Amino acid sequence: MSQASSLFKRNVLPNKWFQAACIAVLVLIIYFVTSDRSTPYDHFVRLSDAMLHDRLYLLDVPDWMEVARVGDKGFVMEPPAPVVFILPWVAIWGLGTNQAIISIIVGAAAIGLLWVALKQLGWSLRCRMAMTALVALGTNFWWVSATGSVWMFAHVSAVFFLMAALVETTGKNRPWLVGLLVGLAGLSRLPVFLTFPFFAYTVCRGMNDRGRIIRRLMILGSTLGVMGGLYLLYTYGEYGTLSLGYEKGDFVNGALFSKGLFSISYIPRQINAILFQGPTFSDNFPFFRPSSMGLGLFFTTPALLYMFRAHLKDKLILAALGGSALTLIPILTYGATGFSQFGYRFSLDILPFMILLAASGMNYRLNKFKVAIIVLCCCINLWGMLTYP
Amino acid sequence: MNQAITALKQKMISDRRWAHFAIPLLIVGIVFAIYYLSNSTPNDWYKHYVYQAQAFLDGRADLQGVPGYYQDLVNYNGKYFLASPPVPALVLLPAVAIWGTGTDEVRICMLMAAINVALIWILLGRMNVKGWKRSLLTILFGFGTVHWQVAITGTTWFFAEIVAVFFLLLCLIEYFGRKRAALIGLLLGLAALSRLPVVVGGIFFLAMLYKNGGIRSPLKFIIGLALPLAFYGYFNYARFGNPFQTGYEFHSYSSYFAADIDKYGMFSLNYIPKHLYTLLLMPPQYLSDFPFFKPSPEGMSILLTTPAVLYAVKARLSESANRWLLLSIAGILLPTILWFSTGWVQFGYRYSLDFMPFLMMLIVAGMGSRISKKMIVLIVMSVAVNLWGALWSVHLGW
């Protein structure tokens, strides 16, 4: 018995995948307990069912459901990668599959992957624990995972694949697999395709052989190209034209999109949503309630202010900044700010990079103040979970 | 002629005492000019203190000839009184003696505020802050805090803030100078008779005077403080027959606050969240057209209006002076956050001026001895935000 115990301590306990699984289970329990575990916006369940019936469109779509309507067909405008997680369950349970619960599971798994990636990056145990806790419970990833509606599940899926890409690029670093995972993240949330500068750096990190670097970059680029091409093919299959999908929705005719889907004139409203969108005040306890318009990034996760102290002489951090900056271009110029939401959900498209930047800003070290800030972030997000209208 | 100029220059260089007067005077001139230009055509539509000063000059306590639209008056036994304490009116006495009720309170407010900036320069000097850091902190106070917008608005409630800061700064200058406890108490009393919550700042002086001089100094401080407070009691007695009756409970507040006051009264724990929200979190208002953001009339977070206050967080609390400063700030804030009004209409959180001199000292402590790029960036940001606020405030007719 004691031999088995020491074997467990020596071989199993230090195993990063075992640790990741334990963390994922813990996060899963927290997400599960704090979630409503249901969503009426289960587009991906319906899409999975359609795909299992050789269709790319939904039938008998309720009026309140946001889809692109062409005749009696309803097309899901969000990219299709999240279906990967749902399709097997729909094959078993059909339309009764609970998208919200799958969102919770995938969200928790993404946190496990983050743990592995941070370990592979060589961060200290305390730093890894703090940053994992920050992402899991101190960002709106908690609320987004626990909500699990079509828009939120797309984020969860994108974060999962980004974390998986981070694990691969900090581990075996096979460019085709990194490209595939980033591509799947992009096929969950289109702006995430633009995180590629970060991965272009990481797949060649520490290499001097120019030919090898070019070869690896070409593999990464072509994999991403194929994934992008697949998306265009998918939308061609849907609408018969090459399209992003979003421009087919009725909402683009609304006031928010008066200057089209993207315009630089939308930047101030995004800046307002990122920096200044505060909670609403209430006369009753707990006096502040999250606005369904969102909550500023630094109101939701004040620890991210450490990003401004990141060490840009570190090329990995510079690459994270580059990937984030490029990804932010379509986000900042998009007409909508993410209503309805807790926090600023579009920020999740660059979540792993924000964590790299914040950890760098903290010098990868913790003190009482930093721990207090992270605890504050967790409290704010717990408040969001409990009070979101 | 040239010889005379050279001799004068040499004399000025050798005798640096001229700088003690010349630089503060220069600061007053420059700051007043900028404040004046920031709001060259002020509204001057609420100047209760001018009418109070006129009442003093006429040997009355009640206000007469006040425009009909004035709020915040106390109607008691058929007469109108001012609930706010009277020191700002006493400050205006010479001007009102000359110009009567035509006195331009806003311009005088700007002038006093410019003097405040010179006083912070003197205070920093006495705190041994030197060189560029002293200049930067003076700029921060004058143009990187809500002091700027409050100075150029100058109506009743804003003038009271500026006068309170004036006396509080004098108080601190004396503390960092000859430390005459009775005089410090007297000056704090005068600050408190401009803005009542400031009296709680006495915590700092009591503690530090006790630490430096035993029990005698705090006693002298209390005696000094008692003089203006006794005057206030007498003033209240003369008006309402009760030295402890300030008049606030009778005063005609704006209908904007009616629902809250009916529900919770003038002081309530229920007001704390909205004060803390205004002080710490409140963002600007978003506009769909250029310039896209405008200040909320409810106020704005101090972290946005003066991001340089973040340095106060870095002040070492292992030093007792910093602990007492922090306690004084919290103490001054306590009665304020129980009050029904958060300061509407305002840019930023104007009540923060009640403790701004103390906060400036914490910022000094948190900044360390060297000037860093971050420090300059935060100060520039603070000034930029307050320039934006001052311009909006004038544009919106606050």
Whether the per-residue pLDDT at B215 is higher than 70: the answer is yes
User: Which residue in A278, A288, A299 is closest to B273 by CB distance?
Assistant: A288
pLDDT of residue B213: 81
| 8 Å CB contact between A353 and A195 | yes
Chain A residues whose beta carbon lies within 8 Å of the beta carbon of residue B277 = 278-279, 281, 287-288
Backbone angles phi, psi at A204, to 5 degrees: -110, 5
Confidence of residue B19 (pLDDT cuts 50, 70, 90): confident
- Asked if residue B263 belongs to a domain, the reply is yes
Name the domain count of chain B. 1
Q: pTM for this structure?
A: 0.86
DSSP class of A81: T
**Rg (Cα) of chain A, in Å, rounded?**
21
- B273 → chain A, closest CA residue: A287
Backbone angles phi, psi at B178, to 5 degrees: -85, -10
Contact A281 B293 (CB under 8 A): no
Chain B residues whose beta carbon lies within 8 Å of the beta carbon of residue A277 = 283
Contact B277 A278 (CB under 8 A): yes
pLDDT of residue B14: 61
User: Which residue in B273, B283, B292 is closest to A268 by CB distance?
Assistant: B292
Q: What are B85-101's pLDDT values in tens digits? A: 999 999 999 999 999 99
User: Which residue in B274, B284, B293 is closest to A281 by CB distance?
Assistant: B274
pLDDT of residue A242: 85
The C-alpha of A151 sits at a distance from chain B's nearest C-alpha, in angstroms, of: 25
Whether the per-residue pLDDT at B12 is higher than 70: the answer is no
Whether the per-residue pLDDT at B243 is higher than 70: the answer is yes
pLDDT of residue B229: 97
d(CA A64, CA A81): 23
- Asked if residue B5 belongs to a domain, the reply is no
For β-strands B293-294 and B285-286, DSSP reports them as antiparallel
H/E run at residue B316: none
Q: Which two tokens stand for residue B34?
A: 């900028």
pLDDT of residue B58: 97
Contact A276 B286 (CB under 8 A): yes
Whether the per-residue pLDDT at B16 is higher than 70: the answer is no
Answer whether the bond into residue B369 is a cis peptide, omega within 30°: no
pLDDT of residue A6: 86
Q: Which mean pLDDT values do the consecutive 10-residue runs of chain A (389 residues) have?
A: 81 92 98 96 97 95 91 93 97 96 98 98 97 98 98 98 98 98 98 98 95 97 97 93 82 88 95 93 85 95 97 97 98 95 98 98 96 97 93
**Can you give the residue range of the structural domain that contains B77?**
18-395
d(CA A15, CA B232): 74
Q: Would you call B369 exposed, middle or buried from its count of C-beta atoms within 10 A (0-12, 13-18, 19+)?
A: exposed
pLDDT of residue B21: 85
d(CA A153, CA A144): 7
A268 in reach of chain B (CB within 8 A): yes
Single out the residue of A361, A219, A278 nearest to residue B280, CA to CA: A278
d(CA B359, CA B353): 9
- Asked if residue B181 belongs to a domain, the reply is yes
Contact A272 B281 (CB under 8 A): no
Contact A269 B283 (CB under 8 A): no
d(CA B249, CA B74): 8
Q: What are B322-343's pLDDT values in tens digits? A: 999 999 999 999 999 999 999 9
ipTM: 0.79
Confidence of residue B395 (pLDDT cuts 50, 70, 90): very high
User: Which residue in B274, B282, B292 is closest to A278 by CB distance?
Assistant: B282
| 8 Å CB contact between B340 and B293 | no
Whether the per-residue pLDDT at B13 is higher than 70: the answer is no
Query: What is each CA distance from A118 to A105, A358, A364, B195, in whole angstroms?
Result: 20, 13, 11, 54
Whether the per-residue pLDDT at B3 is higher than 80: the answer is no
User: Which residue in A268, A278, A288 is closest to B283 by CB distance?
Assistant: A278
Confidence of residue B253 (pLDDT cuts 50, 70, 90): confident
Contact B286 A268 (CB under 8 A): yes
Single out the residue of A272, A271, A252 nearest to residue A262, CA to CA: A252
Chain B residues whose beta carbon lies within 8 Å of the beta carbon of residue A312 = none
Chain A residues whose beta carbon lies within 8 Å of the beta carbon of residue B273 = 281, 287-288
Contact B293 A276 (CB under 8 A): yes
Average of pLDDT values for B260-285?
92
pLDDT of residue B370: 86
Confidence of residue B212 (pLDDT cuts 50, 70, 90): confident
DSSP class of A229: H
| 8 Å CB contact between A77 and A129 | no
* Residue of B271, B286, B316 to mutate for A, most A C-beta atoms under 10 A: B286
* Cα A137–chain centre separation: 14
Whether the per-residue pLDDT at B1 is higher than 70: the answer is no
pLDDT of residue B15: 64
Contact B283 A277 (CB under 8 A): yes
The C-alpha of B284 sits at a distance from chain A's nearest C-alpha, in angstroms, of: 7
The C-alpha of B186 sits at a distance from chain A's nearest C-alpha, in angstroms, of: 40
- A272 → chain B, closest CA residue: B286
d(CA B218, CA B209): 6
Whether the per-residue pLDDT at B5 is higher than 80: the answer is no
